[in-house]
Amino acid sequence: MPWSDHFDCGSWRFRNGALAVGGDLKAGWLSWAEARAVCERNTAIHGFMWMDGFELEGRVFIVFKGKDHPSSDNPGWSSVIFHGDRNIDLPVPLPGWFNNFSRDGWQYKRGALVAGKDIKEGWCSLAGAYDVCKAVPAIHGFTWVGEPNAQGQVYIYFKGKDHPHNDDPTWNSVILHRVPTVTKLQCDSADSQQCDLYSVRGAACVRGVVISICSYPCVEERAVSEVVRVVESMLSSVHGDVLARMHQCGCTVGIIGRCQKTSDMPPHSYLKGYKTSDGRCFDQGTRGLGGTKAIPVTTVGEENVMMERDAYFPFESILVHEFGHMVMNCGFDWKQEKRIHSIYQDASKNYSASLYMFSNAEELWANGTQAWFHAINRVDVNAGIKTRYDLQAQLPALADLMGEVYGNGQWRYEEDMPGTWAGRRR
């Protein structure tokens, strides 16, 4: 939610600039609501500050200060301070359910959960909705229209799966990722006895930032090595701020074994039996998913990684596509998010939404990422835009944002990919 909506509530005040003096009592990545909740629970805190402007959504790195200071030392920062005696003039407390968002995987976001099965709906309080979600494992979040701290009864839609994007900023949502305990996976291959432990198998390292590569033992070591190579190549020239935000989200990659399905990955096991927003069953219609802030895990099928006997997507790198989603979802700042949605709106005037690349801003970025790194050899989903040169010629605004985010490095996937676009070994 726009943090400015609450700056002038009670004794809290927004100001430009950092709180120049005062003991740092705590620091970390939080949303504004979470930061305010921390302040309200700890009367020793008299304010907090963060880098960049005040119209921010999601999590930013917040520094909590132990005393107020009337001046600023850096205009690039923003601050919220409390005026008055904390022992007498306490701010108006947020509802109790607000303080639970950062616990057990809950996250607040502005906008509706635009996809996912409606488990139930009806009028209730937000605290009541929170209790319903805790009691029903099939529910992964709820969405409502109105104020984020609405009192009394509001009309709630309970959703069966998370969706990382919004379709109407007048709505609000709470999401929860539940990861069930995984003990044993049933596989059809002769290696089924190995598929009993999902763990870190390798790591991509870019400028000191580590991105773990996870899988079950049935995935070959060479596939792990290939994922490491591609991820490190994609991020070799990436903007430092994007990389830092991905690091703060804890981004990882999971490899789906040849004998496994998308929902066999523990982070995405809750999707078993569900369909995508365009009607595909997750297990039959996908071989990988992009990471989000709620679930910062990108997955990809082993057969696609190695370009061997890929019956699903033999003419494109799903890793480059889905990792591109995670770069956007976890690495963008709010200005870049606005830019990609603006670029999509402009592009939609010239390209049909029936083309997968132009179905929404997220797919525009992910398919654009494939083109930027020459990681697709299809023309049916992207209006023939499959190289960096095509992007620069046909979608120059998107190409500019790609260059800002990924840099203009020399790596191209098709120059050192492990197989051929037909899925046969070289």
Identify the pLDDT of residue 359.
Answer: 92
Copy the structure tokens of residue 40: 């309200």
Identify the pLDDT of residue 133.
Answer: 72
Is the Cα dihedral 341, 345, 350, 355 positive or negative? positive
Identify the pLDDT of residue 130.
Answer: 72
Copy the structure tokens of residue 27: 């620091």
Single pTM value for the model: 0.58
Cα 358–360–364 angle (5° rounding)?
55
Identify the pLDDT of residue 77.
Answer: 67
- Per-residue model confidence as pLDDT tens for the chain (426 residues): 344 444 444 455 666 677 655 667 777 777 766 776 677 666 667 677 776 555 555 677 777 776 655 455 555 666 665 554 444 333 333 344 444 444 445 566 666 765 566 777 777 777 677 767 766 767 777 787 766 666 677 778 877 765 555 555 566 666 654 433 333 334 444 344 444 588 889 999 898 888 999 999 999 999 999 999 999 999 999 999 999 999 988 899 999 999 999 999 988 887 888 877 777 888 888 999 999 887 899 999 999 999 998 888 999 999 999 999 999 999 999 999 999 999 999 999 999 999 999 999 999 999 999 999 999 999 999 999 999 999 999 999 999 999 999 999 999 999 999 999 864 433
318 to 324, 370, 387: CA distances (angstroms): 10, 9, 16
